[in-house]
Amino acid sequence: MKNFECQFKNCRAGNETLGNALPCKRISFAVSQDMARHREFDEEEALAGALEVFWQRGFTGAGMQEICAAMGLNPGSVYAAYGNKRDLFLAAIGLYLDDVTREGIDLIAAAPSGREGIRAYFDYLMDGIVAGRRQWGCFGTNSFMELADRDDAVQAIMKEHFDKLEAAFRKALERDRASLPGHLEPADFARYLVCVAQGLNVLAKTAPDRRALQGIVDAAMLPIASLEEDFVR
């Protein structure tokens, strides 16, 4: 006997699926699982495929056909596992935040100083934009822009993400407080840094080169550049 989660039932997702009401009850139920066939595909691997497509095409732009292909599955299996397109999308955001975004945020606290942490975060961001998958922008930002005012779940998820990023920036600034300009409020400056990051995610879609991005980030960090020039780079 095993407990299984993650099954969706009775999902009928028209256009109003993206409306406000909770569209699908996620019925997590325990089943006597030891009497039947089990899933053949790796759920995370499949989800990663879906994420890829959503990332490149957006929620509306991605067709279930293409998504299914990228997942290596047939529609039936996808719907059995995730219920509908919208819940699959939500799952993809979850994977993204756990996988990609977390990695970036963790860099902030891991660095030897707050400033260096912040710089590490922006370096990570820029690398992704220039070479990596962020050529299509940040999946989180993209989703937020596309769906925030149609889907409360997306709005909530991303707001939470912004808060997390802001908190990480704030902590970093507080670490370096002693060497920061006195009039600089960590709380305000952290929110500002979130704003800059989002701006970069927008500009990502203009296919900017590294030099341009670096210029922006350097300018953004001017107020906290230590006077002893730790920012010669």
> Would you tell me which residues interact with DNA (CB under 7 A)?
4, 7, 11-15, 17, 31-41, 62-65, 73-77, 79-81, 84-86
From a copy of itself, DNA, none, which one binds at residue 179 (CB under 5 to 8 Å depending on kind)?
A: none
Number of residues that bind a copy of itself (CB under 8 A): 44
Q: Which has the closest alpha carbon to 221: 112, 134, 117, 107? A: 117
Q: Is 150 in the site for a copy of itself (CB under 8 A)?
A: yes
Q: Is 104 in the site for a copy of itself (CB under 8 A)?
A: no
Smallest distance from the beta carbon of 61 to a copy of itself, in angstroms? 7
Greatest CA span in the chain, whole angstroms? 68
Query: What string of DSSP letters covers 5-46?
Result: ---B-S---SSGGGSSS----B----B--TTS----S-HHHH
User: Segment near a copy of itself (CB under 8 A), from 46-54, 70-78, 95-103, 135-143?
Assistant: 135-143
Q: Amino acid identity of 115? A: R
Helix, strand or coil, per DSSP, at residue 152? helix
Q: Is 205 in the site for a copy of itself (CB under 8 A)?
A: yes
Q: Is 60 in the site for a copy of itself (CB under 8 A)?
A: yes
